[in-house]
Amino acid sequence: MNSFLNYGQVIYSLDTSALIAAFHERYPIENFPSLWRKIEELIKDDRLKMSQIVFDEAMRDTEIKQWCDQNQLKSYLQVAIDESVQEKVSEVLSEFPRLVDNRTGKSGADPWVVALALTSEDYIVVTEENPTHSRNRPKIPDACAHFNLQCIKIVDLIEKENWTF
C-alpha cells in the first residue's frame, strides 16, 4: 500500500461476507457491471483491502477467484500478514475470544477483518453482518463498536464514495 497516496483517504477492510453477498446476491456483476468497475478501481487505488486470511477465505468462492484473477486484483486486494496485524488479532481475540467459533471452524477470518482496520485510523470495516450485542455470540460489528471502528455495509460504501449509477 502506498501510504503517501492514501494519506487522509478512507481505506476499507473488506469481510468475505460483504464480498460474497454483493457478488452473488445483492449486486450480481452481470446486472451491475458499472458498480464492479468502481470496486475494481477502489481496489487498484489501494483503498479496498483484505487481510491475507480473509482473502484466502474469499478465494474459496470459484467465481470471485475468477473475477479477481481476470482483473489482476490479488496484489492490490490482499494484505500480507505482518507483526502489526498479528498483534491486533491477539488484541481482538483477547476481547472477543468467541469471535471465532471453534466448534464449527466458521468465522476464522473475522478477527483479521477487525485487526487490519486497527492498524490505521484511516480504515473502515465493511461487512454484511449485524451486531448481536452479545459477548457470547459476537460478530464483526460488535468488535468494531468495542474498538471504536466504523463498520458499514456495501450499500454504505457506495454512499460514502458518492457513486451513482
Q: Kindly list the domain boundaries of the chain, sorted by start residue.
A: 3-160
Single pTM value for the model: 0.91
In 3D space, the residue among 114, 130, 127 whose CA is nearest the CA of residue 153 turns out to be: 127
- Determine the Cα–Cα distance for residues 143 and 149; give it in Å rounded to an integer: 8
Q: Tell me if the domain spanning 3-160 has CATH number 3.40.50.1010.
A: yes
Instruction: Return the pLDDT at 100.
Output: 86
Mean pLDDT by 10 residues, the chain (165 residues): 56 96 96 97 97 95 97 96 95 93 68 96 96 93 97 97 92
Which triple of cell numbers denotes residue 62? 470459484
CB 154 within 8 A of CB 18: yes
Which triple of cell numbers denotes residue 82? 505482518
